[in-house]
Amino acid sequence: MCIALEWVKKGIMVMIRLQRTIKNIVSCEGIGLHTGKPVHIVLKPAPVDTGVVFVRTDLDGEEIAASTANTAETSYATTLSKNGAFVKTVEHLLAAFAGLNIDNVIIEIDSEEVPIMDGSARPFIRLITDACIQTQVKFQPVLKVIEPIFVREGNKQIAIWPADSPGISYFIDFNHPMLKEQSLQYHPSEEAFLREVVDARTFGFLRDVQTLLANGLAKGGSMNNAVVLGENTVLNKEGLRYNDEFVRHKILDLIGDFSLVGMPIIGHIVAHKSGHALNAQMVSKLMNSPQHWVLVGSPKEAPVKRQEMQYQHAAL
């Protein structure tokens, strides 16, 4: 029986789309949030099934694929590593690719940390928009969760529930008057990404700055690239970009961290007080629990005619 007929027999419908890359080479520069080092990145188109791959041009072109297998460090940011080479704070750039459904891209980088830019994904979206999006000639498989899956650490937890479309519900509850019990339900689409999360900046607490600096972190941090919270208020003169910018940024981080799966996830992700470490735990558990999901959209699908972005229904 062909794969499509097997899907029909199971009676589940899932949206399948063509893979995408960028059309032109684009670049930008900035500083790393944690290292404070200047860095230059160049985004280049990549063939189908490449995925997102970092190339450390300052280390003889060491390649580090954006995949859960290369996740190395997850405190305060997500770091990828391979053969001793690192790329730090990848999550906002990865979220930009995931948010615009860019599957294949090469990122040349001449230092160890992705530039923080303004602390959000907006500057990367501008870069990708300048590069133009190119639809490719192969379908992008998706991972459809069919059995609930959970991770928990103390009072932090993530669940992924089977659903017919992607969804993220996020709850935060920090010990700070401005961050108590913020929550948001997010229904992923390119439009929702650009409207609801792309401008949300990373944030930190003034009370933590000395500790972060003492631990060699946040050396490039400033109110130009982060929302800084004082005891009762936001210290940035311009204020917030959304009333609930904090939970929106946590969703942005989750989108970037979960993109390390390497394909879109169909399921409802419910995150409670999560962060990079628990996100990484869930992604790892998901990849190691194939009984909880099915792949939809076989990589063996015949190539289709090049065309502009066309969503197609594939029955699972």
Residues lying near Zn ion in the complex (CB under 5 A) are found at 202, 253
Asked if residue 132 lies in contact with residue 23, where contact means CB atoms within 8 angstroms, the answer is: yes
Minimum CB distance to Zn ion smaller for 202 or for 225 = 202
Closest to Zn ion by CB, 70 vs 202, is 202
Per the annotation, the verdict on 276 as an active-site residue is yes
Residue closer to Zn ion by CB (options 76, 86) is 76
Beta-bridge mates of residue 82 = 85
Q: How far is the CB of 195 from Zn ion (least distance, A)?
A: 18
CB of 91 to Zn ion, least distance (A): 5
* Closest C-alpha to 89, from 15, 129, 50, 36: 36
Nearer to Zn ion, 100 or 197 (CB): 197
Q: How far is the CB of 276 from Zn ion (least distance, A)?
A: 8
User: Distance between CA atoms of 63 and 52, rounded to whole angstroms?
Assistant: 10
19-to-94, 108, 136, 172, 202 alpha-carbon distances in Å:
16, 21, 5, 33, 29
| Annotated catalytic residue within 34, 268, 276, 292 | 276
CB proximity list for 204: less than 8 A, separation 6 or greater: 212, 218, 221, 226, 227, 228, 229
| Cα 262 to chain centroid, rounded | 10
Minimum distance from residue 275 beta carbon to Zn ion (Å): 10
Q: Which residues are catalytic?
A: 276
